[in-house]
Structure 1
Amino acid sequence: MKSAVETLNPTRVRLTVEVPFEELKDSLDAAYKKINQQVTVKGFRQGKIPARVIDQRFGRGAVLEEAVNDALPKFYTEAVNEGELNPLGQPEVDITELKDGELLAFTAEVDIRPAIEIPDYSGIEVTVDAVEVSDEDVDKSVEQLRERFATTTPVERAAAEGDIVVVDLEAKVDGEVLEDGVAQGVDYTIGSGQLLDGIDEAVTGLEAGGSATFTSELKGGSAEGKEAEVKVDVTAVKSRELPALDDDFAQLASEFDTLEELRADSRKRLEQMKKYDQATQAQEKVLDELLGLAEVPIPEKLLADEIETRKHNLVNHQLGQMGLDLAKYLEIQGKTEEEFDAETKEQAEKGIKTQFILDELVNKEKLSVGQEELTEHLMRRAQSSGMSPDQFAQAVVEGGQVPMLVGEVARGKALAVVVEAATVKDSNGETVDLDDEDETAETVEAATETVEDAEGSEDAAEAKSEGAKSEG
């Protein structure tokens, strides 16, 4: 077999392949065997029909067609390997010559990963938010914990802001009670804004047994967006009481003996969260700078497929679970379809560029992924998908997604290498040290998350049902 590669553009090539006829022998034998099992000829047992009889009765052309279809993938793969190419997607194959007993010639056009020159990233500088935890931040954290230990007590008085009322609701549109517009025994905290517009004013001042009517735009259900007349009956009023902020509360709500110790722990936790956020911010900014330095051509078909995949995942997974369609989503977001398409294209381009350049870095730096790193990544992905680790692992294996997860971790490690080489300063002008040996695994995992966000990676469970995205 002879092959040659013609570069059509930085992301597409044409392979020209010539195969001597003798190299088709195995495929011809397989073609005769297959046809033998599918046809019957009087006077011969099935599977025992001589080749010359098949040629006479069914035509040599049918045999050649079957043989060529069987052989093409093998010869195409050999040509790809010989040319040291990284193809993306399926090739467009054209048989240019087929001479029985002499020669098979074909061309194959296919998109390829472009050759990328990794820029010098040691000069990258980014600025991130400083890690600052104020007393107000600690107060808010402790107050949220305090809210979790609030108690309720039934009261015989008019309801006021902060009280919990138990209500029955009935919504009418054009005088008709909606089938899904009736609810009973609903707990509602006055002032929380978590139910219907207008309900706070309607129930404030009512005692148990009191009723009121108000109008409100429905936020969901069969009459979403319509004005409804809502009748609300208050069946009970409860007051919420927060525990006193003292040492007893600290012992009730935590493992600490004093409120001072609880506040110190809250400050420490907030600092850790802000440090993680700071590291994520650094990774995102460094990645943007890296992408800005590199020339990364993108195959047109790959970009079109990625845009379509992102739209499909948004509409069928995210919006579908929320009961929204694309038109309603765009209305909520205040975007036109043109603006949405432009943003989706920009995100898709960034995702492809991120994968290409970080994969090149993985090869250049000879980065590998250990079993422990892969397991840790799988555990996190399982948690975010709502599946157990065993279920998620099974979905990953059955969906052929193990290489995808390995690639995600490897690219996370590549990004961590770039971040380590960059200069990161906070908003106070202080140099930020992200190279903490005790947090190396967390740094890589955080970088992997940053890469996933840029690439728009989908969960393996979704990938299993929707079909794996090509890793090239």
Structure 2
Amino acid sequence: MKSAVENLNPTRVRLTVEVPFEELKPSLDAAYKKINQQVSVPGFRKGKIPARVIDQRFGRGAVLEEAVNDALPKFYTDAVNEGELNPLGQPEVDITELKDGELLAFTAEVDIRPSVEIPDYSGIEVTVDAVEVSDEEVDKAVEQLRERFASTTPVERAAAEGDVVTLDLEAKVDGEVLEDGVASGVSYTIGSGELLDGIDEAVTGLEAGGTATFTSELKGGSAQGKEAEVKVDVTAVASRELPELDDDFAQLASEFDTLEELRADSRKRLEQSKQYDQATQAQEKVLDALLELVEVPIPEKLLEDEVKTRKHNLEHHQLGQMGLDLEGYLKIQDKTAEEFDAELKEQAEKGIKTQFVLDELVNKEKLSVGQEELTEHLMRRAQSSGMSPDQFAQAVVEGGQVPMLVGEVSRGKALAVVVEAATVKDSNGEVVDLDDEDETAETVEAASADSGSDAAEGGKAEPAEEKPAEEKNEA
């Protein structure tokens, strides 16, 4: 077999392959054997029909077509390996010549992973928010805990702000009650803003047994975004009492003996949360700075497929779970379809570029992923997916997604190398010490594949979209 590579652009090549006919013999024998098992000829036992009879009865062209289509994947893979290429996605194959007994020739156009030069990144410097916790933030955290330990007492009076009311709701659009617009026994704290706009005004002043009607724009469901006439019946009113902020409350709500100890623990937790946010912010900024240093050509077909995948996942998975369609989502986001498409394309470009750059760093730094690292990452992914580790691991293996997880971990390690070399300061000018590859892996995952497509992983080295041999060339 002979092969040659022609660079069409920095991200696409054309392979020209010539195969001596004798190299087709294994596939030709397999084709005769396959046809033998599928057809019957009077006078011959099934599976024992001579090749010459098959040629006479069914045509040599049918056999050649079967043999060529069977052999193409191997010849294409051999040509890819010989050219030391990293293909992305499936190739477009065209059989240019097929001479029985002499030669098979074909071309294959395919996108390839571009060559990426990683510059010196040690000079990267970014600024992040300082970790500062105010007394007001501690007060708010303690108050939220206090809210969780509030008690309610039924009262026989008109409902007021802060009371907990039990409601029956019925929503109509254009005079018709919605199938998903009826709810009973809904518990609601007046003033919390957790239900429909206008409900606070409607129920304030009503006693148990009272009814009111108001108009509100629905926030979800089958009529999301539409104006609805909502009828609300108050079935019960209860006053809400908060515990006193003292040592007794600290003992009730926590493992601490005093309110001061509880407040100190709240401050510590807030600091830890801000440190995590600070680390994530640093990693995102370092990644952005690294990407600005590197020129990476993006394959057009790969970008197109990635945009389609992200849009599909958003429409049919994420928004579906929220009871929204794309039109409703754009309305909430206050974006036009054109603005959304442009933003999606920008995100896809960044995701692909991130994968290319960090994968090159993995190779340059000779980074590897150990079993323990992979297991830890799998556990985190399982937790975020809502599945048990065993269920998630089984789904990953059955879906052939282990290489994708390995890629996420290795890219996280690559970004950690860059973060370690960079200078990170907070808004007070203090140098920040970062040392958490787990967080780095999550940052990479979010940047490179927040829709989960992982397009830049590359495709299998198998021909696709080729026409049967005899449609392209007469044998």
TM-score, normalised relative to structure 2: 0.92
Q: CA deviation at 1:250?
A: 1.4
Q: Count residues in correspondence.
A: 458
Where does the alignment leave 5 or more consecutive residues of structure 2 unmatched? 459-475
Instruction: Provide the secondary structure at the position in 1 that maps to 2:234.
Output: strand
In the alignment, the residues of structure 2 paired with residue 214 and residue 458 of structure 1 have an alpha-carbon distance, to the nearest angstrom, of: 39
The corresponding residue for 2:282 is: 282
The corresponding residue for 1:471 is: 457
Give deviations 1:302-347, integer Å, cap 9, x for gaps: 0000000010000000111122211111111111111111101100
Cα separation, partners in 2 of 1:34 and 1:171, compared to 1, 3 Å:
closer
The corresponding residue for 2:464 is: none
Task: Work out whether 1:373 is the aligned partner of 2:377.
Answer: no
Contact 2:352 2:456 in 1 (8 A): no
Q: CA deviation at 1:224?
A: 4.2
Work out which of the residue numbers 422, 443, 446 in structure 2 matches 1:450.
443
Contact 2:310 2:451 in 1 (8 A): no
In the alignment, the residues of structure 1 paired with residue 59 and residue 174 of structure 2 have an alpha-carbon distance, to the nearest angstrom, of: 75
Q: Which moved more, 1:128-137 or 1:96-105?
A: 96-105
In the alignment, the residues of structure 1 paired with residue 184 and residue 91 of structure 2 have an alpha-carbon distance, to the nearest angstrom, of: 61
Q: CA deviation at 1:197?
A: 2.1
The corresponding residue for 1:131 is: 131
- Pick 1 or 2: higher relative contact order, CA cutoff 8 A, min separation 6: 2
In the alignment, the residues of structure 1 paired with residue 400 and residue 365 of structure 2 have an alpha-carbon distance, to the nearest angstrom, of: 26
Task: Work out whether 1:23 is the aligned partner of 2:23.
Answer: yes
Q: CA deviation at 1:230?
A: 3.4
In the alignment, the residues of structure 1 paired with residue 58 and residue 80 of structure 2 have an alpha-carbon distance, to the nearest angstrom, of: 34
In the alignment, the residues of structure 2 paired with residue 214 and residue 170 of structure 1 have an alpha-carbon distance, to the nearest angstrom, of: 11
Task: In structure 2, give the amino acid aligned to 1:327.
Answer: E
In the alignment, the residues of structure 2 paired with residue 265 and residue 322 of structure 1 have an alpha-carbon distance, to the nearest angstrom, of: 35
In the alignment, the residues of structure 1 paired with residue 270 and residue 238 of structure 2 have an alpha-carbon distance, to the nearest angstrom, of: 33
Q: Which moved more, 1:31-40 or 1:166-175?
A: 166-175
Task: In structure 2, give the amino acid aligned to 1:193.
Answer: G
Residues 297-316 of structure 1: matches in 2 within 5 Å? Answer: 297-316=297-316
Cα separation, partners in 2 of 1:210 and 1:96, compared to 1, 3 Å:
closer
Contact 2:211 2:234 in 1 (8 A): yes
The corresponding residue for 2:166 is: 166
Instruction: Provide the secondary structure at the position in 2 that maps to 1:306.
Output: helix
Q: CA deviation at 1:180?
A: 4.4
Task: In structure 2, give the amino acid aligned to 1:471.
Answer: E
Instruction: Provide the secondary structure at the position in 1 that maps to 2:457.
Output: coil
Q: Which moved more, 1:77-86 or 1:175-184?
A: 175-184
In the alignment, the residues of structure 1 paired with residue 74 and residue 29 of structure 2 have an alpha-carbon distance, to the nearest angstrom, of: 15
Instruction: Provide the secondary structure at the position in 2 that maps to 1:94.
Output: strand
Contact 2:221 2:323 in 1 (8 A): no
Q: CA deviation at 1:391?
A: 1.1
Where does the alignment leave 5 or more consecutive residues of structure 1 unmatched? 436-442
Cα separation, partners in 2 of 1:415 and 1:225, compared to 1, 3 Å:
closer
The corresponding residue for 2:260 is: 260
Residues 71-86 of structure 1: matches in 2 within 5 Å? Answer: 71-86=71-86
Task: In structure 2, give the amino acid aligned to 1:286.
Answer: V
Q: CA deviation at 1:215?
A: 3.1
Give deviations 1:30-87, integer Å, cap 9, x for gaps: 1111111111222111111111222222222222221111111111111111111100
Cα separation, partners in 2 of 1:70 and 1:174, compared to 1, 3 Å:
closer
Give deviations 1:410-466, integer Å, cap 9, x for gaps: 10110111111011111111111113xxxxxxx21211111111123446xxx7xxx
Q: Which moved more, 1:231-240 or 1:404-413?
A: 231-240
The corresponding residue for 2:248 is: 248
Cα separation, partners in 2 of 1:216 and 1:94, compared to 1, 3 Å:
closer
Task: In structure 2, give the amino acid aligned to 1:347.
Answer: Q
Instruction: Provide the secondary structure at the position in 1 that maps to 2:315.
Output: helix
In the alignment, the residues of structure 2 paired with residue 403 and residue 226 of structure 1 have an alpha-carbon distance, to the nearest angstrom, of: 45
Q: Which moved more, 1:336-345 or 1:251-260?
A: 251-260
Task: In structure 1, give the amino acid aligned to 2:57.
Answer: R
Cα separation, partners in 2 of 1:223 and 1:8, compared to 1, 3 Å:
closer
Contact 2:352 2:455 in 1 (8 A): no
Q: Which moved more, 1:211-220 or 1:32-41?
A: 211-220
Cα separation, partners in 2 of 1:469 and 1:298, compared to 1, 3 Å:
closer
Give deviations 1:226-258, integer Å, cap 9, x for gaps: 444433332222111111111221111111122
In the alignment, the residues of structure 2 paired with residue 470 and residue 60 of structure 1 have an alpha-carbon distance, to the nearest angstrom, of: 41
Instruction: Provide the secondary structure at the position in 2 that maps to 1:144.
Output: helix
Cα separation, partners in 2 of 1:53 and 1:230, compared to 1, 3 Å:
closer
In the alignment, the residues of structure 1 paired with residue 341 and residue 172 of structure 2 have an alpha-carbon distance, to the nearest angstrom, of: 39
Instruction: Provide the secondary structure at the position in 2 that maps to 1:302.
Output: helix
Instruction: Provide the secondary structure at the position in 2 that maps to 1:70.
Output: helix
Task: In structure 1, give the amino acid aligned to 2:457.
Answer: E
The corresponding residue for 1:394 is: 394
Q: Percent identity?
A: 88
The corresponding residue for 1:105 is: 105
Contact 2:314 2:451 in 1 (8 A): no
In the alignment, the residues of structure 2 paired with residue 138 and residue 35 of structure 1 have an alpha-carbon distance, to the nearest angstrom, of: 78
Residues 50-199 of structure 1: matches in 2 within 5 Å? Answer: 50-173=50-173, 177-199=177-199
Cα separation, partners in 2 of 1:109 and 1:179, compared to 1, 3 Å:
closer
The corresponding residue for 2:467 is: none
Q: Which moved more, 1:184-193 or 1:223-232?
A: 223-232
Contact 2:221 2:324 in 1 (8 A): no
In the alignment, the residues of structure 2 paired with residue 340 and residue 119 of structure 1 have an alpha-carbon distance, to the nearest angstrom, of: 33
Contact 2:170 2:182 in 1 (8 A): yes
Q: CA deviation at 1:173?
A: 4.8
In the alignment, the residues of structure 2 paired with residue 238 and residue 199 of structure 1 have an alpha-carbon distance, to the nearest angstrom, of: 17
The corresponding residue for 2:49 is: 49
In the alignment, the residues of structure 2 paired with residue 69 and residue 157 of structure 1 have an alpha-carbon distance, to the nearest angstrom, of: 82
In the alignment, the residues of structure 1 paired with residue 279 and residue 158 of structure 2 have an alpha-carbon distance, to the nearest angstrom, of: 50
Task: In structure 2, give the amino acid aligned to 1:53.
Answer: V
In the alignment, the residues of structure 2 paired with residue 169 and residue 76 of structure 1 have an alpha-carbon distance, to the nearest angstrom, of: 64
In the alignment, the residues of structure 1 paired with residue 19 and residue 227 of structure 2 have an alpha-carbon distance, to the nearest angstrom, of: 73
Q: CA deviation at 1:469?
A: 5.2
Residues 223-234 of structure 1: matches in 2 within 5 Å? Answer: 223-234=223-234
Contact 2:302 2:456 in 1 (8 A): no
The corresponding residue for 2:403 is: 403
Task: In structure 1, give the amino acid aligned to 2:210.
Answer: G
In the alignment, the residues of structure 2 paired with residue 107 and residue 215 of structure 1 have an alpha-carbon distance, to the nearest angstrom, of: 65
Task: In structure 2, give the amino acid aligned to 1:377.
Answer: H
In the alignment, the residues of structure 2 paired with residue 295 and residue 389 of structure 1 have an alpha-carbon distance, to the nearest angstrom, of: 39
Task: In structure 2, give the amino acid aligned to 1:408.
Answer: E
TM-score, normalised relative to structure 1: 0.93
In the alignment, the residues of structure 2 paired with residue 222 and residue 32 of structure 1 have an alpha-carbon distance, to the nearest angstrom, of: 58
